[in-house]
């Protein structure tokens, strides 16, 4: 048999039927659901008199709209509250394998709780009405975001009509230097291939640097595959994967565990498998990254400078660069380390897991947030992450340094709740999107790793975290 | 879903690459549990000078006269001309809902982001990919010629400009069939329910832990 890529294996094992032109009906194993992209799908189901095909594939939570403080007062914004209550009501009507509603101790960002609960397993197809579903590809799963019509389609049929994407291999060889994290790796990759570099592709991340990452690091990496234009990112299964899954709530047990592991061990690209596109990077060459523009590809090393549009020839590129610098309020050629910040956000499905919080806390410990910083906040990815961090005393480290310690949720990653930037405010953020207005109308977002965000909070401007380790 | 066959429409040019879904419909409007009513908040941060919130009277809000869709000459446009990687970012289907609610039926660009591209078809919004050089030329014509209209012929897979030139575009056969006939994809898929059931029971045998 021809050598296969991991993507080939995941794809072909889920094809229910295929047409001559390559359109396939793909079976979906896990359907993650949240309050923002599901109400219209449930409504569509109801209007058509249909019922979910397989309720026990559904794992649901409320995360985008939920407040991060004063939980005893409920959700004060009536429109947000209605959306969350609509999810409550829909799950009551239709059921789910698991539901972690607002106020539940296990509630959290959908992409944090799926893996945490063992609801994401190697070899699965995982979908969610959310583009960062690519996160779950870290488990050698085929995971991708879908729109609300597709959410309804999956509920009604347990399948999706799809065409196979092209396969891209992104190999990061060598080793990372201290202070450089998965976030820096993925930002460097996006800087190299661009936000449309992966369009039409499924990306497999490989190489010694990727093998050396923890599962949490791999999730950070795959999370941002979508920021490189790829609906799905993935990493082959290995001991790290299997050890992470072992013992989790919905992970298989006993005999089934052994059978599952035997299968999971096959989830890697075969020697000699062909990719349509191959990109390689060296780990040693990656420095801590900071975005300076309004797209994740507008990124560079913390040691570098903001680019100068005058040196760009292509008029369309020059125009978008000028617009980005104007929006961001930055001068051409200024040092990244001269950029001063107003707020710091440590959180989001990219970087809100326990290792992220540990990394940030280790920088913050014994130091204090700069007086010029108006707000520095830590929003754990889930109730369980929060509890773990508190058991380790990380909440105290953050609080003593002047950080807010909040309840879990998406929070200022997209500012659907009360946490947001005011016009003109500048934020060091561990999230994944620096689009105009993403964290609040007129807000200016710089994407960084948790350690870099922590360092920026202390210094009041971007600094190379390696000087603070 | 409305059927889509031949569209003759006014063209509005939006000259920016990488237009993301946060720009198309900002997150505060995603709190709605409905599918309709997003049109007035399409490109909210570019269209209005104040900060938009759900429930505002949009007719009374100050508009940014410079933004292309606020210019009277483009009023009633049903075709949006855009640059590369249109619709990047989130999976929110509110983006095509806002575009169609505003009155767009088709978007022409050199490239689209994958999820947005998919979502568009499900809402009768036809994304048309044309070569960058052709799009470039259309930008010049749309900006230079008030009332610039083009025809998009889906059955023939052609975009026809007023000078009589026509440009072919690609579309997947299944999607074309659904668009032209305004078909409900779920209904079509359920015609294969037996095959889905058969697949599922095989999977239950080979990977029982997924059903435990
Ligand atoms: S944390 Fe941000 S990117 Fe992740 S699911 Fe929530 S809103 Fe989306």
Contacts of B209 in chain A (CB under 8 A): 121, 252, 256-257, 259-260
Chain B stretch 168-197, residues whose beta carbon is closer than 8 A to a beta carbon of chain A: 172-174, 184-186, 189-190, 192-193, 195-196
The reply to whether ligand 1 has any atom less than 6 angstroms from the CB of A297 is: no
Give the chain B residue nearest A323 (alpha carbons): B16
Closest CA to A47 of A155, A141, A139: A155
Cβ-defined contact of A156 to B113 (cutoff 8 Å): no
First-to-last C-alpha distance (Å) of chain A: 50
Residue A236: band (very low, low, confident or very high) from pLDDT cuts 50, 70, 90: very high
Determine contact, residues A131/A435, Cβ cutoff 8 Å: no
Question: What is the average pLDDT across A44-73?
Answer: 96
Identity of the residue in B15, B96, B189 whose CB atom sits nearest the CB atom of A25: B189
Q: Is the pLDDT assigned to residue A469 strictly greater than 90?
A: no
Determine contact, residues A257/A411, Cβ cutoff 8 Å: no
Query: Ligand 1 pocket: which of A130, A382, A420 to mutate (most atoms <8 Å of CB)?
Result: A130
> How many whole angstroms from A131 Cα to the centroid of ligand 1?
9
| Phi-psi category of residue A313: left, alpha or beta, with phi > 0 → left and psi -120 to 50 → alpha | alpha
What 8-state DSSP symbol labels residue A286? P
Element housing A168 (H / E): strand A166-173
The burial class, CB within 10 Å (0-12 / 13-18 / 19+), for B168 is exposed
Q: Is the pLDDT assigned to residue B43 strictly greater than 90?
A: yes
Largest CA distance in chain B: 64
Question: What is the average pLDDT across A343-366?
Answer: 98
Question: What is the average pLDDT across A27-49?
Answer: 97
* Cα–Cα–Cα angle for A23, A24, A29, rounded to 5 degrees: 150
Strands (E), A274-398: 277-282, 289-291, 299-301, 343-346, 375-378
Nearest CA to ligand 1 atom 2: A413
CB count, 10 Å around CB of B191?
A: 8
Question: What is the average pLDDT across B112-130?
Answer: 96
- Chain B nearest CA to A257, separation (Å): 8
The reply to whether ligand 1 has any atom less than 6 angstroms from the CB of A183 is: no
Q: What is the pTM of this model?
A: 0.96
The reply to whether ligand 1 has any atom less than 6 angstroms from the CB of A41 is: no
Closest CA to A454 of A288, A328, A247: A288
Residues 6+ apart with CB under 8 A from A249: A117, A118, A119
Identity of the residue in B28, B89, B119 whose CB atom sits nearest the CB atom of A149: B119
Q: Which pLDDT score, from 0 to 100, does residue A378 have?
A: 98
Q: Is the ipTM above a cut-off of 0.85?
A: yes
Give the chain A residue nearest B35 (alpha carbons): A40
pLDDT digits (tens, 9 = 90+) for A92-145: 999 999 999 999 999 999 999 999 999 999 999 999 999 999 999 999 999 999
Sign of CA dihedral A311, A317, A323, A327: negative
Identity of the residue in B88, B174, B195 whose CB atom sits nearest the CB atom of A16: B195
Q: Which pLDDT score, from 0 to 100, does residue A1 have?
A: 80
A316 at B interface, C-beta within 8 A:
yes
What 8-state DSSP symbol labels residue A382? B
First-to-last C-alpha distance (Å) of chain B: 38
> How many whole angstroms from B109 Cα to the centroid of ligand 1?
27
Identity of the residue in B35, B91, B210 whose CB atom sits nearest the CB atom of A40: B35
Residues 6+ apart with CB under 8 A from A205: A170, A171, A172, A218, A221, A222, A225, A233, A234, A235
pLDDT digits (tens, 9 = 90+) for B141-183: 999 999 999 999 999 999 999 999 999 999 999 999 999 999 9
Residue A19 to residue A12: CA distance in whole angstroms: 14
Alpha helices in A4-70 (DSSP H): 6-12, 39-47
- Chain B nearest CA to A467, separation (Å): 34
Structure token pair of residue A302: 């913390």
Residue B177 to residue B154: CA distance in whole angstroms: 10
Question: What is the average pLDDT across B89-110?
Answer: 97
What 8-state DSSP symbol labels residue A108? B
Task: For B48, list phi and psi in degrees, rounded to 5.
Answer: -115, 155
Structure token pair of residue A376: 């520095």
The reply to whether ligand 1 has any atom less than 6 angstroms from the CB of A348 is: yes
Q: Which pLDDT score, from 0 to 100, does residue B100 have?
A: 97
Question: What is the average pLDDT across A355-370?
Answer: 98
Q: Is the pLDDT assigned to residue B1 strictly greater than 90?
A: no
B123 at A interface, C-beta within 8 A:
yes
Give the chain B residue nearest A19 (alpha carbons): B174
Residue A449 to residue A462: CA distance in whole angstroms: 11
Give the chain B residue nearest A160 (alpha carbons): B189
Determine contact, residues A438/A419, Cβ cutoff 8 Å: no
B113 at A interface, C-beta within 8 A:
yes
Sign of CA dihedral B115, B118, B123, B127: positive
pLDDT more than 90, % of chain A: 98
pLDDT digits (tens, 9 = 90+) for A434-458: 999 999 999 999 999 999 999 999 9
Query: Which ligand 1 atom lies nearest to the CA of residue A381?
Result: 1
Closest CA to A430 of A367, A329, A355, A339: A355
Residues 6+ apart with CB under 8 A from A161: A23, A24, A25, A26, A153, B174, B185, B189
Residue A421 to residue A290: CA distance in whole angstroms: 18
Determine contact, residues A365/A455, Cβ cutoff 8 Å: no
**Residue showing tokens 């210019």:** B71
| Phi-psi category of residue A91: left, alpha or beta, with phi > 0 → left and psi -120 to 50 → alpha | alpha
A-B contacts at Cβ under 8 angstroms: 191
Closest CA to A130 of A447, A423, A426, A410: A410
**Residue showing tokens 């594939």:** A57
The number of CA neighbours under 13 Å toward the Cβ of A227 is 30
Contacts of A64 in chain B (CB under 8 A): 30
pLDDT digits (tens, 9 = 90+) for A258-313: 999 999 999 999 999 999 999 999 999 999 999 999 999 999 999 999 999 999 99
pLDDT digits (tens, 9 = 90+) for B3-36: 999 999 999 999 999 999 999 999 999 999 999 9
């Amino acid at each position: 048999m021809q050598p296969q890529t991991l993507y080939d294996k995941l794809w072909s094992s889920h094809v229910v039927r295929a047409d001559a032109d390559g359109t396939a009906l793909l079976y979906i194993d896990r359907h993650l659901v949240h309050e923002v992209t599901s109400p219209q799908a449930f409504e569509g189901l109801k209007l058509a008199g249909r019922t979910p095909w397989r309720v026990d594939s559904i794992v649901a939570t409320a995360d985008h709209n939920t407040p991060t403080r004063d939980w005893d007062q409920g959700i004060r914004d009536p429109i947000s509250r209605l959306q969350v209550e609509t999810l409550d009501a829909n799950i009551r009507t239709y059921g789910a394998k698991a539901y972690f509603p607002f106020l539940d101790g296990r509630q959290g960002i959908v992409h944090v709780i799926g893996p945490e609960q063992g609801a994401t397993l190697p070899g699965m197809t995982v979908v969610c009405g959310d583009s960062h579903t690519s996160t779950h590809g870290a488990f050698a799963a085929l995971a991708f975001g879908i729109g609300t019509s597709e959410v309804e389609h999956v509920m009604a049929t347990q399948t999706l009509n799809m065409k196979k994407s092209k396969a891209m291999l992104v190999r990061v060889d060598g080793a990372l230097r201290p202070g450089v994290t998965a976030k820096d790796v993925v930002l460097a990759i996006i800087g190299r291939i661009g936000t449309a570099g992966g369009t039409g592709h499924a990306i497999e991340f490989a190489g010694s640097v990727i093998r050396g990452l923890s599962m949490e690091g791999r999730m950070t990496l795959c999370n941002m595959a979508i920021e490189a234009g790829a609906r799905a990112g993935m990493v082959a299964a290995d001991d790290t994967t299997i050890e992470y899954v072992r013992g989790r709530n919905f992970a298989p047990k006993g005999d089934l565990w052994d059978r599952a592991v035997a299968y999971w061990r096959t989830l890697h690209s075969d020697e000699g498998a062909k990719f349509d596109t191959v990109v390689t990077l060296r780990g040693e060459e990656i420095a801590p990254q900071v975005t300076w523009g309004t797209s994740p590809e507008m990124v560079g090393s913390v040691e570098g400078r903001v680019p100068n549009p005058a040196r760009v020839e292509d008029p369309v590129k020059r125009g978008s660069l000028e617009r980005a610098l104007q929006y961001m309020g930055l001068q051409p050629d200024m040092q990244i380390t001269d950029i001063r910040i107003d707020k710091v956000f440590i959180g989001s499905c990219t970087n809100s897991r326990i290792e992220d919080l540990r990394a940030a806390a280790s920088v913050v410990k014994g130091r204090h947030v700069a007086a010029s910083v108006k707000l520095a906040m830590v929003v754990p990815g889930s109730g369980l992450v929060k509890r773990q961090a508190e058991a380790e005393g990380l909440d105290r480290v953050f609080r003593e340094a002047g950080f807010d310690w909040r309840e879990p949720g998406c929070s200022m990653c997209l500012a659907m709740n009360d946490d947001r930037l005011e016009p003109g405010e500048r934020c060091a953020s561990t999230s994944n999107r620096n689009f105009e207005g993403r964290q609040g109308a007129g807000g200016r977002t710089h994407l960084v790793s948790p350690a870099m965000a922590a360092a920026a909070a202390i210094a009041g401007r971007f600094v190379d975290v390696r000087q603070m380790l | 879903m409305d059927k889509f066959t031949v569209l003759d429409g006014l063209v509005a040019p939006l000259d920016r690459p990488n237009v993301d879904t946060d720009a198309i419909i900002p997150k505060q409007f995603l709190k709605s549990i409905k599918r309709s009513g997003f049109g007035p908040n399409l490109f909210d941060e570019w269209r209005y000078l104040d900060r938009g919130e759900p429930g505002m009277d949009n007719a009374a809000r100050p508009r940014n006269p410079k933004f292309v869709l606020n210019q009277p000459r483009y009023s009633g446009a049903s075709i949006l001309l855009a640059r590369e990687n249109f619709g990047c970012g989130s999976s929110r289907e509110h983006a095509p809902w806002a575009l169609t609610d505003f009155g767009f039926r088709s978007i022409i660009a050199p490239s689209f982001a994958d999820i947005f591209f998919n979502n568009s078809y499900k809402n009768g919004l036809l994304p048309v990919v044309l070569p960058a050089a052709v799009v470039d030329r259309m930008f010049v014509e749309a900006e230079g010629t008030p009332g610039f209209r083009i025809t998009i012929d889906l059955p023939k897979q052609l975009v026809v400009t007023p000078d009589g030139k026509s440009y072919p575009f690609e579309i997947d056969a299944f999607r074309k069939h659904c668009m032209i006939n305004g078909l409900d994809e779920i209904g079509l898929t359920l015609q294969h329910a037996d095959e889905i059931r058969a697949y599922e029971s095989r999977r239950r045998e080979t990977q029982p832990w997924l059903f435990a």
